[in-house]
Structure 1
Amino acid sequence: MMDGAMEDPGRRALFRGAFRASEKTATGWHMVTSLAAGSGDVFWDGWADEAGVFVVGDDGVIFHYDGADWTRQAAPAPVPIHALWGRSRDDLWAVGWMGQILHHDGQDWRHMQGCEVDGAGKYASSPANTPLFAITGGEDGRAWAVGDRGTILHYDGATWQPEVSGTRAHLRAITALPDGRLLAAGGDGTVLIRDADAGWAVQPCALHSNFTAALTLPDGSVLLAGGRYFVDAGGFRGDLALWTADGVTKLFEGAAFSRFRALAACNRGVVAVGDAGQIHVIRDGRITRVDSGIAHDILGIVTLPSGEALAMGDFGTVLAGEAGALEHFTPYLAAEAETPRWEAAESGTDRQLWGLWHDRDGGAIYACGEEGTVLIQDRGQWAALPPVGNLGIHALNRAPDGTLLAAGQMGEIHAFDGARWHKAFDLHMDVTILSLWSDGATLIAAGDEGLVLQKTPDAPDWVRMASGTKSALYGLWGPDDRHLLAVGDFGLVQRWNGTRWDAFNAGTEYFLFDVWGRGLDDIFVVGLSGTIGHFDGQRWTITPARARADLLAVTGDADQVVAVGAAGTVYRHDGQRWAPEASGTPLGLRAVSTAPGGGFVAAGDQGSLLARRD
């Protein structure tokens, strides 16, 4: 502990070695795989006592570990749970989205406040539904929770009531001070102090960081952690600061951090966790980044009575840190972690590339884009085919007779005879075809305004189908001509059963830009703000979008799945979970395909082409 006090050996018995059967990711840290979490789960916080551990997250997820097994507990509402606090498991509180406040009495979780619905059965726009993000309290049972728009709620032992904060800033952290006062912190450097007599008062703070965590230190000062968005960096940078009676002081000037999310006291020091798998140890006035073994965002950390720790975050991540690891960490190997797995290739064009298609029979791969651009890679080199006029080309495929097809703007489909392109179909409408699908016999095209075209072996021409939507359809995938999915605006998924198209609710309102699967029980979709979804044959699981770059394309093979998107974003799923990869480019990536002989190829802005070899 931070005061150096010895721990009762009896308190360590439950947890000692409990997570050692987990998958090891780095010396001293282990991925907890015994918890039945999916890659779409996001965990925000945890709480532990001698009897076990609670871990909470999005969709009302609550997992409990009793020393032997993880079990999922029933939650009153399927909304994110952001924070836990309590004097004991018989008096444990949880707060989260839509103002949700839950109480655990040792047996069950009970809804206390928030998640109010209107007459239409939707969550109401009311102060009671203001999202809450942090909670703390005292040994007398009183508690305080903070959230958006300066919201502060106080539990007096009987009811929760609002307190006047004096700010409209979003509050994300709260901690109790040794003298009975409270400190709350949040957006734009907001720091508040609650005096029992005078109420809440805004404190001076010259550091305009968005504070997300606060930890009271033994001397009565408070460590603050968070981050700010920098346009030149294209993302968040982390900040650490110290609050004392004299004000707020920025710590570790000149050091580069990712955004911090949570703090915990451990082994006479502090552990700070955050974005991109970041774990730092602060001890004796120094800060050291250590190797977490992952690249996911870590959103919470809780220390256990054993001296171990659990860190939790994106993509169902729960890491267990051994007690020894909290004293002797494996250093973070920055150079190794940042080495791009993708290599740039010379495309010979600066035109934007919108599509890739792998000719599995012939072994070649094609790219297409602006101003009729079509490229072919054969034996490792990219070369240009004659342009398809001046219109943009978004999709490629082959006709049943082997002719290469190109589709794009103005609803046109062109065919290549080996020397030149000729128009094979013209919709005569200003509608763009965005995707082409084929099983070798039947062809399907989809695009703007709900456009779906079909060409069957027994039909002389393309026929427009009733798609059931007027929204854009960006991507097509299916194992055969009786089972197809098309994805589009506002989470739209349309399903073809061989007879008609019907809506297939994926559980998100974010735009979906592409779809790919290995089979009807293993389908992935990607979209706006980093949305990733998976269908297992029974239900969709959506990874919540949290200020991520747009993901524009997805594909995979038998072992892995790759998604690409804006600002050179690449995510790879290794069969267990998603992790970001360094692409080596800041340019947007708009298409991805498997490559002949293995690996992947991505294409995007300014003619960029990248290759990943396994």
Structure 2
Amino acid sequence: MNAKSRGISAMTAVVLVLACLLVPTPFVMADVTGTWEMVNDNFPNQTIAGAWANTENDVFVVGYSGTILHYDGSSWSAMSSGTSERLYGVWGTGPADVFAVGYTGTILHYDGSSWTAMTSGTSERLYGIWGTGPADVFAVGYTGTILHYDGSSWTTMTSGTSERLYGIWGTGPADVFAVGYTGAILHYDGSSWTAMTSGTSERLRGVWGTCSADVFAVGYTGTILHYDGSSWTAMTSGTSEYLWGVWGTCSADVFAVGYTGAILHYDGSSWTAMTSGTSGNLYGIWGAGLADVFAVGYSGTILHYDGIAWSAMTLPAVGYNCFWGSAPDDIFMGGGYGSSYGTIAHYDGTGWSTMLFGIGKVADMWGSASDDVYAVTEANGDILHYDGSSWTTVFSNGSNLHGIHGTGPDDIWVVGLYKIYHYDGSTWNDVTPTTTHQYRYWSVWCAAPDDVWVSSWNTAYTSDGLMHYDGSSWTLVYQYEDLDYSEIWGTAPDDIYVATEDDFLHYDGSSWSILSSSSATGVHGTAANDVFAIVGGEVWHNDGTGFSTVTNPYSNPSRVWCDGEGTAWFVGGDSLILKYTYTLP
């Protein structure tokens, strides 16, 4: 391909303007049924709000988007919670009896093998949970909600308050404390809850103690209270940060955590600040011993204290936005943000693991085989290659790259900010067409070396649209305003889809039509009768006769990829990773 042949044939372009006939694909009744599962990776960026440790080798943490992680003493792994609700509290009696609570009255139970939803009898947000045994568990939340579990069912208790309650702890079935909004502190004596005088109007978030005469409560503006068995008194914390969690091993070894990475320690006489190593907000703390304490918080932060210092256990926050795979047990996923928080993860059929971290945001991925996989990054403009054992940077233009696709190892196309590149098996060549305006190229898809489609956008809005390469020259074949953040995918030259911020488009080999005037963010499938799309925040599927909506119980995903054997993978905000298993048409 020479420079002369790369110019757009603007004078002879077959331009089909946006005013073309809108021919929506008719909707049909539900054509596919399957099972949804949320499979968050091991290092999600969801906020972690609660922690509980059974032993140093059996630690549970919970957080936003239904996140539940487990630590076995050597590594963290994600657990399937079956919900996308925010989870705030976790507590258990042993490895096969763990409870988690969260938004909309969510209560989950873990029996040692799986998490299942329990009937709570409320739709209020639940924040704290604690108990004395499998048949004596308390949960607290909004509007003074206090629930009790007797081993068979949850029932509502009369709290005597409408204040929000955030934390709960006790020494036994007849000695339980709950704390909450405007300095609220309640005590349960085994028969009823009564209000205590706290001496503060600050919001109290956490409570913990060693015995009925040695209880600590923490809250906003550095509030720390102590109960000696007769009254609550304020302690000098030395901070004005909001404090959310408190836990300890004894009366002379107590920790409190809060905003901007605040961790305080009490040695029996005074509170002192510890170096946490993070500026992110911390929301929960629990431990298994003097030298084995965990603190959790914003963007997936998990810290560990070994008796000497605090250290981070997790990678910085990431989010995923693209897939490619060679088989159901060989799937690559990319994402992240900025120039140094990009990541690539791999799925081996049993779980996700991080392959790369600290690169630029991964915008798109494609491969010809399991040992020939490419990823392109934004900000840095790198093209990365995986040879089956390691990732290396094979090309960089120092600018944003957005899309990649190919027909084989010697025919690969990459598009980005003002540039189109082609790989012929030996070198990467700049094949950007000569144009009047500078284009930002967003997505690329090829059916053959002489059938390549690219979406383009320029600030003049004069010639935005879909460009086609026929093996010799580029032609603007469909003028469409504002094709930034678009995605192209197809099953054949006469079956091509484009997802855009404004519409969902289709090409039948002769003309383009608008299937929907709602925002579309992703499209992928295995054949003309097995196409998934994300349109207007909904998941759509086409079985060859038309699109239908697929009921999705989780948060709205933004991208989709199908493995060809009955599994569709979806990603979205807050590191949402969904797995949809269905029967192929």
Normalising to structure 1: TM-score of the pair?
Answer: 0.48
Task: Tell me whether 1:494 sits opposite 2:521 in the alignment.
Answer: yes
Separation in 2 of the partners of 1:508 and 1:309? 42
Separation in 1 of the partners of 2:519 and 2:261? 32
Runs of 4+ in structure 1 off by over 6 angstroms are: 357-365, 396-406, 435-439, 457-462, 477-485, 505-509, 531-537
For the 8 Å contact 2:64–2:87, the answer to whether it is kept is: yes
Task: Tell me whether 1:40 sits opposite 2:30 in the alignment.
Answer: no
Using the TM superposition, give the Cα deviation of residue 166 of structure 1 relative to its aligned residue in structure 2, in angstroms. Answer: 1.9
Give the alignment partner of residue 117 of structure 2, picking from 111, 116, 141.
111
SS of 1:167's partner is: coil
SS of 1:129's partner is: coil
Using the TM superposition, give the Cα deviation of residue 238 of structure 1 relative to its aligned residue in structure 2, in angstroms. Answer: 4.3
For the 8 Å contact 2:223–2:234, the answer to whether it is kept is: yes
Using the TM superposition, give the Cα deviation of residue 363 of structure 1 relative to its aligned residue in structure 2, in angstroms. Answer: 10
Task: Tell me whether 1:263 sits opposite 2:253 in the alignment.
Answer: no
For the 8 Å contact 1:135–1:174, the answer to whether it is kept is: yes
Give the alignment partner of residue 162 of structure 1, picking from 156, 160, 170.
156
SS of 1:324's partner is: coil
Separation in 2 of the partners of 1:100 and 1:130? 9
Separation in 1 of the partners of 2:207 and 2:87? 18
Separation in 1 of the partners of 2:57 and 2:466? 63
Shift in alpha-carbon separation, 1:196–1:289, aligned structure 2, 3 A: same
Using the TM superposition, give the Cα deviation of residue 254 of structure 1 relative to its aligned residue in structure 2, in angstroms. Answer: 6.6
SS of 2:223's partner is: strand
Give the alignment partner of residue 308 of structure 1, picking from 282, 292, 297.
292
The equivalent of 2:219 in structure 1 is 226
> Which structure has more strand as a fraction of its residues?
2
The equivalent of 1:539 in structure 2 is 570
Give the partner amino acid of 2:485. L
Uncovered stretches (5+) of structure 2, i.e. residues with no partner: 1-39, 313-377, 382-395, 401-416, 420-431, 445-453, 469-473, 491-495, 504-517, 525-530, 540-555, 563-568, 577-585
Give the alignment partner of residue 211 of structure 1, picking from 195, 198, 204.
204
Uncovered stretches (5+) of structure 1, i.e. residues with no partner: 1-34, 115-126, 228-236, 331-356, 366-395, 407-434, 466-472, 510-530, 546-614
For the 8 Å contact 2:105–2:122, the answer to whether it is kept is: yes
Using the TM superposition, give the Cα deviation of residue 134 of structure 1 relative to its aligned residue in structure 2, in angstroms. Answer: 0.8
Separation in 2 of the partners of 1:506 and 1:317? 32
For the 8 Å contact 1:191–1:202, the answer to whether it is kept is: yes
Separation in 2 of the partners of 1:292 and 1:62? 23
Task: Tell me whether 1:476 sits opposite 2:460 in the alignment.
Answer: no
The equivalent of 2:465 in structure 1 is 454
For the 8 Å contact 2:99–2:108, the answer to whether it is kept is: yes
For the 8 Å contact 1:214–1:224, the answer to whether it is kept is: yes
Using the TM superposition, give the Cα deviation of residue 162 of structure 1 relative to its aligned residue in structure 2, in angstroms. Answer: 0.1
Shift in alpha-carbon separation, 1:304–1:502, aligned structure 2, 3 A: closer
Shift in alpha-carbon separation, 1:67–1:359, aligned structure 2, 3 A: closer
The equivalent of 1:123 in structure 2 is none
Per-residue CA distance 1:268-325 (angstroms, 9 max, x = gap): 3211122333222222343322222233332222212473112223333322221333
Using the TM superposition, give the Cα deviation of residue 37 of structure 1 relative to its aligned residue in structure 2, in angstroms. Answer: 1.9
Using the TM superposition, give the Cα deviation of residue 248 of structure 1 relative to its aligned residue in structure 2, in angstroms. Answer: 4.5
- The percent of aligned pairs where both chains have the same amino acid is 23
Separation in 2 of the partners of 1:508 and 1:222? 49
SS of 2:216's partner is: strand
The equivalent of 2:261 in structure 1 is 277
Give the partner amino acid of 1:542. G
RMSD of aligned Cα (Å):
5.3
Give the alignment partner of residue 201 of structure 1, picking from 182, 194, 201.
194
Highest RCO, 1 vs 2 (Cα 8 Å, sep ≥ 6) = 2
Separation in 1 of the partners of 2:172 and 2:122? 30
Separation in 2 of the partners of 1:488 and 1:298? 39
Per-residue CA distance 1:165-217 (angstroms, 9 max, x = gap): 122222110111579322111123222222334x2223344533222211124
Using the TM superposition, give the Cα deviation of residue 137 of structure 1 relative to its aligned residue in structure 2, in angstroms. Answer: 1.5
Instruction: Spell out the pairing of 1:2-401 with structure 2 (5 A cutoff).
Output: 37-43=42-48, 44-49=50-55, 52-67=58-73, 70-114=76-120, 128-139=122-133, 141-177=135-171, 180-197=174-191, 199-218=192-211, 220-227=213-220, 237-243=221-227, 248-252=232-236, 255-257=239-241, 259-266=242-249, 268-305=252-289, 307-325=291-309
What is the aligned residue count?
A: 374
Per-residue CA distance 1:196-247 (angstroms, 9 max, x = gap): 34x22233445332222111244624322232xxxxxxxxx54333345665
SS of 2:117's partner is: strand
Separation in 1 of the partners of 2:197 and 2:77? 45
For the 8 Å contact 2:213–2:230, the answer to whether it is kept is: no
Shift in alpha-carbon separation, 1:217–1:77, aligned structure 2, 3 A: same
Give the partner amino acid of 1:38. F
Using the TM superposition, give the Cα deviation of residue 536 of structure 1 relative to its aligned residue in structure 2, in angstroms. Answer: 9.3
Shift in alpha-carbon separation, 1:184–1:319, aligned structure 2, 3 A: same
Per-residue CA distance 1:447-479 (angstroms, 9 max, x = gap): 9xxx995386988999446xxxxxxx9963679
Separation in 2 of the partners of 1:307 and 1:508? 48
Separation in 1 of the partners of 2:114 and 2:532? 40
Give the partner amino acid of 2:457. I
SS of 2:309's partner is: helix
Shift in alpha-carbon separation, 1:284–1:139, aligned structure 2, 3 A: same
Per-residue CA distance 1:546-592 (angstroms, 9 max, x = gap): xxxxxxxxxxxxxxxxxxxxxxxxxxxxxxxxxxxxxxxxxxxxxxx
Separation in 2 of the partners of 1:460 and 1:71? 48
> Which structure has more helix as a fraction of its residues?
1
Give the partner amino acid of 2:102. G
For the 8 Å contact 1:272–1:281, the answer to whether it is kept is: yes
Give the partner amino acid of 2:187. I
Task: Tell me whether 1:444 sits opposite 2:457 in the alignment.
Answer: yes
For the 8 Å contact 1:48–1:302, the answer to whether it is kept is: no
Task: Tell me whether 1:504 sits opposite 2:488 in the alignment.
Answer: no
Separation in 1 of the partners of 2:570 and 2:144? 37
Shift in alpha-carbon separation, 1:278–1:71, aligned structure 2, 3 A: same
